[in-house]
Amino acid sequence: RSFALEGDSTRWLGRTTAREMAAMLEGLLAGTYASKASSEAMVRILRRQFYASRLPQRIQFRASVAHKTGDWPPIAGNDVGIIFHPGWPSIVSVFTNQNTGDFFELEATLGRIAEQVIEHWK
């Protein structure tokens, strides 16, 4: 039943893409949508995300992450965020869908993606 709902876009409450979310985060960093003070406040809120099992999983002691998860375990486990590491911030947006594997492995994969981003740019 969950796969039917997840796969049927006519039943979704809303929809977006990983690319749209990355563009939104880029605009947030640039202050495109609100004042500088409001934009910084929004980033501070994203930095306080409770769940650290995805993008921050493997980098939380080397970089800070302002991010927002979205999920429907075990089918979908998304995370979009701004990784603040030496050099400049990187925006990462990962959406998953129709997962049939281990959900912990899905989360670990997102952590490995973030790790590769900071390794590549150091």
Q: Which of 23-32, 37-46, 64-73 has the lowest mean pLDDT?
A: 64-73
The average pLDDT across 106-122 equals 94
Distances in Å between the alpha carbon of 24 and those of 34, 104, 121? 12, 27, 22
What is the predicted pLDDT for the residue at 122? 73
pTM of the model: 0.87
Strand segments (E) across the chain: 64-72, 76-84, 89-94
pLDDT digits (tens, 9 = 90+) for 57-97: 999 999 999 999 998 888 889 999 999 998 889 999 999 98
Tokens of 70: 């979205």
Answer positive or negative: Cα dihedral of 97, 100, 102, 103.
positive
What is the rounded distance in angstroms from the CA atom of residue 79 to the CA atom of residue 55?
7
pLDDT-based confidence at 2, cuts 50/70/90? low
